[in-house]
Amino acid sequence: MSGRFEAVIGLEVHAQLRTRTKLFCGCPTSYGAPPNTQVCPVCLGLPGALPVPNRVAVELAARAGIALSCEVRPSSRLARKNYFYPDLPKGYQISQFEGPINGRGEVTVSWDGQSKNIRITRAHLEEDAAKSVHGVGTAPGTHVDFNRAGVPLLEIVSEPDLRSAEEAEAYLKKIREILMFAGVNDGNLEEGSFRCDANVSIRPIGQSELGTRTELKNINSFRFVRQAIEYEIARQETLVSSGQTVIQQTRSWDAARNQTVALRSKEDAHDYRYFPDPDLPPLEIEPESIAAWRAETPESADAMRARFVDQLNLTDYDATVLTSHPEVARYFESIVSRLAAQSAPETAKKVANFVQSEVLGHVALDGLDATFPSSSERVAELLALVQDGTINNKIAKQVFAEMRASQKTARQIVEEQNLAQVTDVAAIEGEVRKVLDAHPQQVQQYRSGKTAVLGFFVGQVMKATRGAANPKAVNELLRAMLQEQS
């Protein structure tokens, strides 16, 4: 962006609500089923089929609104948004127009040491469209998979408050985090359950009127959102700087060619001929329910990070990694609480290190508590052995690898392979003596004051005992024996 213009960006996020069934029928919402196997007359738009609103979707939409500090409305309307497209079986999408379930809200976005409040215009319920698939196997042409048609979405519309691609990316990450920690969205960009449209315009600095925007459709990666917006800002700037005008249109991001390409000119809102759906009465929510959901709002990622730093003495970095996903946070806390009975002050730090360095690299998110050897219960058992001095950290890593390979518990492995640390002085003494005898030169160095060589001896003893000796016991013994021989 050159000095003359500023970018203006507003995002429309489409987040799939975590329901088992679709918004107006009982078809499952699970991802990955064979095409057109999760359909019925309602979501296929067959004549005479009648929609019935999914109560859970309404509740999750309201809970999302609460988490986004929106005004949640006890009464809202479902409307028909009419347009013609192969992926739209009824010829209209059921959405909300006037009177969305969630009105104005606001989120605080931080990036690069800066922070800013971004206003949310509204967050409304709507159904997803079907998916066009171009060329299936050997079959040419476009095919339509209706499994996704009718899946409940929350569309979160921001005010045009964002000023750069970087800010937009940070906003998107924040919205994802808020929704995931509120338990309403799984945050899975690859599976399309979190995606966005980015509206981009530029205007001369100092001008308050908005410029003509383009809308970048269906972006499903943080990297693409940043790249697409950056490209679009530059494209518009080049146009305007050379005396041309920006045409209001819908564009898409072509990741292969690294550019945005025009899809169609943008219809204005009135072209959708919105009207209240006559098949659906207003959505009514008891104010008591809204109050109860508000009271039950789960801890936000921001609050959790602050707690990890203040109460568990974790670094900002550790707290950030451990709150990267609610499953990770829950897993971490579950291990800490299992160890709490015998906890030392550094327990949380030890668990944080182990989870980050050993578990997250090896176990997929959805496997955290699903796979037996990596369950919080099994890992807590393992770390309890470190805590009580039975094994050291290094052996713990080895045991964990073995647990995953063999499906055995930590205790079984330690016993079978004789991995318990040797704290018994008599047992280590022979090894210490051998090491000292084998390195007379270093012994000399130690005695002449170069005590740093102690680390070398510790290393040698640990090697000789194949890591089984308790390093603390080895240290003490070495000091004593070096002393006594001098």
Q: Could you list the residues that contact ligand ADP (CB under 6 A)? A: 8-12, 157-160, 199-201, 210-211, 213, 215, 269
How many angstroms separate the CA atoms of 225 and 195, rounded? 10
Residue 159 interacting entry, from Zn ion, Mg ion, ligand ADP, none, C-beta within 5 to 8 Å by type: ligand ADP
Q: Kindly identify the residues of this chain, within the stretch 26-85, that bind Zn ion according to CB under 5 A.
A: 27, 40, 42-43
Least gap, CB of 131 to ligand ADP (angstroms): 20
Q: Which residue has the tokens 């003596």?
A: 433
Least gap, CB of 386 to Zn ion (angstroms): 52
232 burial via Cβ count (<10 Å: 0-12, 13-18, 19+): buried
How many angstroms separate the CA atoms of 463 and 411, rounded? 23
Nearer to ligand ADP, 197 or 431 (CB): 197
Sequence-distant (6+) residues with CB within 8 A of 254 are: 260, 261
How many angstroms separate the CA atoms of 10 and 119, rounded? 10
Q: What's the CA angle centered on 362, arms 226 and 406, to 5 degrees?
A: 165
Element (H, E) at 306: helix 301-312
Residue 8 interacting entry, from Mg ion, ligand ADP, Zn ion, none, C-beta within 5 to 8 Å by type: ligand ADP
Give me the amino acid identity at 458.
V
Give the pair of three-digit tokens for residue 413. 């492995």
Nearer to Zn ion, 29 or 121 (CB): 29
Least gap, CB of 232 to ligand ADP (angstroms): 10
Question: Taking a C-beta distance cutoff of 8 angstroms, is the pair 18, 11 a contact?
Answer: no
In the bound complex, which residue of the shown chain has the CB atom lying closest to Mg ion?
12
How many angstroms separate the CA atoms of 260 and 228, rounded? 6
Nearer to ligand ADP, 73 or 325 (CB): 73
Residue 201 interacting entry, from ligand ADP, Zn ion, Mg ion, none, C-beta within 5 to 8 Å by type: ligand ADP
Residue 327 interacting entry, from ligand ADP, Mg ion, Zn ion, none, C-beta within 5 to 8 Å by type: none
Residue 269 interacting entry, from Zn ion, ligand ADP, Mg ion, none, C-beta within 5 to 8 Å by type: ligand ADP
Least gap, CB of 148 to Zn ion (angstroms): 11
Which part of the chain contacts Mg ion (CB under 5 A), choosing from 10-18, 34-42, 66-74, 92-100? 10-18
Which part of the chain contacts Mg ion (CB under 5 A), choosing from 8-16, 19-27, 117-125, 268-276? 8-16
Q: What's the CA angle centered on 393, arms 392 and 395, to 5 degrees?
A: 70
Structural Rg of the chain based on CA atoms = 30
Nearer to Zn ion, 38 or 158 (CB): 38
